[in-house]
């Protein structure tokens, strides 16, 4: 559904709710409380009329983008860390948000959110992800667990506020030995204890190696995809409705207001299977 259609559908649903409220209040004899609902319906009907007549089309038109004619150059090396992170997050977005589920050799489980995961090869199926360290120089538990058990499941989460709240909890700093599973309200799948039931889909990966990044404390991990966890019956050619990071520390649904396929990179007609 496009933007205009979504708004029209919302207003019509609001009117249906208001009409039901009027019926309930009338049946209870609360006639004086029906007038605000009638005014509410009248207001929505007027908005629906103006949308259908095209009078509000400018509301649904994206703001024009600016070219580089008046661009300025920012020296990234001169930016403070927070500013640099904000610019890079804002420009290199949206990026899928994944929750990495791992465990150590003793079976202690860990959850952590990441937006640095990226596919770099499909044959073999390889992903990369960067892992930072804290001020004491200790790397994330996810990296330690990958090194010790060589396995993780990367989950894609549904675009809901409850999922955002769970993700926020998985980022909480916890004392050693405590698990984010106890905070996030997520449940493990009985088939695999690392699999999150509330996820939309997941990638099972094998840790291959991690490497140092030039002039950085973060480590770059190389992961091989070994399995796909999904309830989809067909390949999701148009993507899934999942949470992404769009901007700095801002989680939103995957943008899906319009789209166009690019196919020239295939060199010939792609296989649609």
Quick one: pLDDT at residue 258?
Answer: 59
- Write the pLDDT tens digit of every residue in 51-67: 998 898 888 877 776 77
Q: How confident is the model at residue 2 (pLDDT cuts 50, 70, 90)?
A: confident
Handedness of CA 122, 171, 254, 202 (dihedral sign): positive
- 123 torsion bin: left (phi>0), alpha (psi -120 to 50), beta (else): beta
Answer yes or no: is pLDDT of 257 > 70.
Answer: no
pLDDT band at 47 (very low <50, low <70, confident <90, very high): very high
Under 8 Å between Cβ of 135 and 126: no
Instruction: Spell out the residues 6+ positions from residue 85 whose beta carbon is closer than 8 angstroms to its own.
Output: 248
Report residue 264's pLDDT band, with 50, 70 and 90 as the boundaries: low
Q: What is the DSSP string of 176-200?
A: TT--THHHH---B-SS-TT-BTT-S
Specify the pLDDT at position 268: 59
pTM of the model: 0.73
Q: What percent of the chain has pLDDT over 90?
A: 49
Separation CA 161–CA 159 (nearest Å): 7
pLDDT for 273 equals 44
Question: 3-state DSSP call for residue 69?
Answer: coil
Q: How confident is the model at residue 270 (pLDDT cuts 50, 70, 90)?
A: low
Question: 193-210 burial by CB neighbour count: b if 16+ within 10 A, else e?
Answer: ebbbebbbbbbbbebeeb
Tens of pLDDT, residue by residue over 216-248, are 989 999 999 999 999 888 888 778 888 898 887
Please give the share of the chain, as a percent, with pLDDT higher than 70. Answer: 92
Averaged pLDDT, 166-192: 86
Low-confidence winner among 68-82, 171-185, 252-266 (lowest mean pLDDT) = 252-266
203: which residues sit within 8 A by CB, 6+ positions away?
Answer: 98, 127, 153, 154, 225, 227, 228, 229
* Three-class DSSP category at 145: helix
Window from 95-99, 117-121, 173-177 with minimum mean pLDDT: 173-177
Supply the mean pLDDT for the chain.
Answer: 87
């Amino acid at each position: 559904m496009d933007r205009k259609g979504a708004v029209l559908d919302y207003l019509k649903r609001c009117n249906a709710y208001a009409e039901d409220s009027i019926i309930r209040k009338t049946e209870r004899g609360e006639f004086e409380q029906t007038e605000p609902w009638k005014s509410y319906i009248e207001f929505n009907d007027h908005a629906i009329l103006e949308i259908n007549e095209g009078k509000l089309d400018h509301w649904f038109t994206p703001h024009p983008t600016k070219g580089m004619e008046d661009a300025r150059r920012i020296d990234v090396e001169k930016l403070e860390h927070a500013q640099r992170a904000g610019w890079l997050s804002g420009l290199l977005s949206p990026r899928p948000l994944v929750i990495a589920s791992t465990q150590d050799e003793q079976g202690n489980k860990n959850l952590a959110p990441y937006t640095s995961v990226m596919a770099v090869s499909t044959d073999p199926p390889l992903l990369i992800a960067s892992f930072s360290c804290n001020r004491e120089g200790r790397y994330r538990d996810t990296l330690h667990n990958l090194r010790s058990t060589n396995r993780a499941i990367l989950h894609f989460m549904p675009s809901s506020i409850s999922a955002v709240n769970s993700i926020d909890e998985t980022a909480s700093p916890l004392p050693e030995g405590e698990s984010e599973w106890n905070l996030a309200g997520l449940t493990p799948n009985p088939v695999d204890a690392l699999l999150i039931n509330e996820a939309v889909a997941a990638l099972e990966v094998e840790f291959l190696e991690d490497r140092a990044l030039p002039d950085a404390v973060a480590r770059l991990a190389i992961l091989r995809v070994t399995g796909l966890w999904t309830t989809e019956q067909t390949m999701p050619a148009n993507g899934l409705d999942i949470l992404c990071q769009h901007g700095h520390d801002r989680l939103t649904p995957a943008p899906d207001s319009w789209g166009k396929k690019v196919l020239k990179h295939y060199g010939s007609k792609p296989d649609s299977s």
